[in-house]
C-alpha cells in the first residue's frame, strides 16, 4: 500500500529481457534521491504508480521484474526515462495523500497541459470504463501521484499541479498526447461493490 506522495524521481537505465519463457523484462532503476538503506529484496516500490518487487539492489540502483500483464495495462515502464518512486507505507507512516494500491486501473491521455501562473493545469481523458469513479474534488492517482480532480466532464477531468508537485515528480514533463497510468480511489471501488450487493447483484 502507498500514499501517492512521491519520494523521488528515478531513471530507468536498463531494460533486460528475461529468459523465463514468459516475456518478462527486468528494469534497472537509478533511485535518484530515494534512500535504499532500508530496502530489502522482496520489498515493494511503486514505479509510476505500478507496485513492483525489488529483486536486486546494488550501489544506488535497484532492479524489478515486470510481467507481460503489467506491461500490457500500464505505460512508462517500456523505455528508459524518468519514473516517480515511492516505497511502501509502514503502519506508523503519515498518510499525506490517499490510500493507493499500486494496481493501475487504466491508461489515460493528456489532452492539455497549460501554464497557470506558477501552477500547471492538466486535463486528462480517462478510459470510459473508469469515468464513473472520478468525482469532482475526489482523489485520483496519476503516474503514482496522489491528486485531486478539480472538474469532471464525462471521462475528462482536470487537476492543478502546484510548483512543489512539478518539482518533485515527473508530471511537469507531460504534454498533450502523453499517456499516464491511472488508479481510481479505493473507496469508489468498494462503494460500487457494496451498492451492487444491496441491489441483489453478485
The CATH number that applies at residue 177 is 2.40.30.20
Same domain, yes or no: 73 and 131: no
CB count in 10 Å sphere of residue 26: 16
pLDDT number for residue 200: 64
Same domain, yes or no: 69 and 115: no
DSSP structural state of residue 98:
-
Nearest Cα residue to 7 out of 103, 91, 93, 134: 93
pLDDT number for residue 199: 64
Residue 100 lies in a domain: no
Contacts with 122 (C-beta within 8 Å, 6 or more apart), sequence order: 110, 112, 113, 142, 158, 159, 160, 161, 171, 174
pLDDT digits (tens, 9 = 90+) for 8-26: 999 999 999 988 777 799 9
Task: Report residue 114 as a C-alpha cell.
Answer: 497549460
Domain extent, residue 129, equals 106-195
Q: Which residue has the cell 470504463?
A: 129
- Is the Cβ–Cβ distance between 170 and 82 less than 8 Å? yes
- What's this model's pTM, rounded to 2 decimal places? 0.92
pLDDT digits (tens, 9 = 90+) for 12-69: 999 999 887 777 999 999 999 999 999 999 999 999 999 999 999 999 999 999 999 9
pLDDT-based confidence at residue 190 (cuts at 50, 70, 90): confident
Give the total number of structural domains in the chain.
2
- Is the Cβ–Cβ distance between 172 and 84 less than 8 Å? no
Same domain, yes or no: 155 and 189: yes
pLDDT-based confidence at residue 170 (cuts at 50, 70, 90): very high
Same domain, yes or no: 83 and 132: no
- Is the Cβ–Cβ distance between 35 and 45 less than 8 Å? no
Amino acid at each position: 500500500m502507498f500514499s501517492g506522495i512521491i519520494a523521488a524521481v528515478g531513471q530507468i537505465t536498463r531494460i533486460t529481457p528475461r529468459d523465463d519463457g514468459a516475456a518478462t523484462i527486468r528494469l534497472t532503476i537509478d533511485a535518484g534521491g530515494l534512500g535504499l538503506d532500508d530496502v530489502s529484496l522482496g520489498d515493494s516500490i511503486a514505479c509510476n504508480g505500478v507496485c513492483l518487487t525489488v529483486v536486486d539492489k546494488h550501489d544506488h540502483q535497484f532492479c524489478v521484474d515486470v510481467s507481460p500483464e503489467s506491461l500490457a495495462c500500464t505505460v512508462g515502464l517500456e523505455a528508459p526515462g524518468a519514473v516517480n518512486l515511492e516505497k511502501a507505507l509502514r503502519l506508523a507512516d503519515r498518510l499525506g495523500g490517499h490510500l493507493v494500491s499500486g494496481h493501475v486501473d487504466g491508461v489515460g491521455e493528456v489532452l492539455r497541459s497549460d501554464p497557470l501562473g506558477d501552477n500547471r493545469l492538466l486535463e486528462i481523458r480517462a478510459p470510459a470504463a473508469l469515468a464513473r469513479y472520478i468525482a469532482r474534488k475526489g482523489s485520483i492517482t496519476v503516474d503514482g501521484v496522489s491528486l485531486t480532480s478539480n472538474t469532471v466532464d464525462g471521462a475528462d477531468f482536470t487537476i492543478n499541479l502546484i510548483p512543489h508537485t512539478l518539482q518533485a515528480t515527473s508530471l511537469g514533463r507531460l504534454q498533450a498526447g502523453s499517456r499516464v497510468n491511472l488508479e481510481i480511489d479505493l473507496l469508489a471501488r468498494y462503494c460500487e461493490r457494496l451498492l451492487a450487493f444491496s441491489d441483489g447483484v453478485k
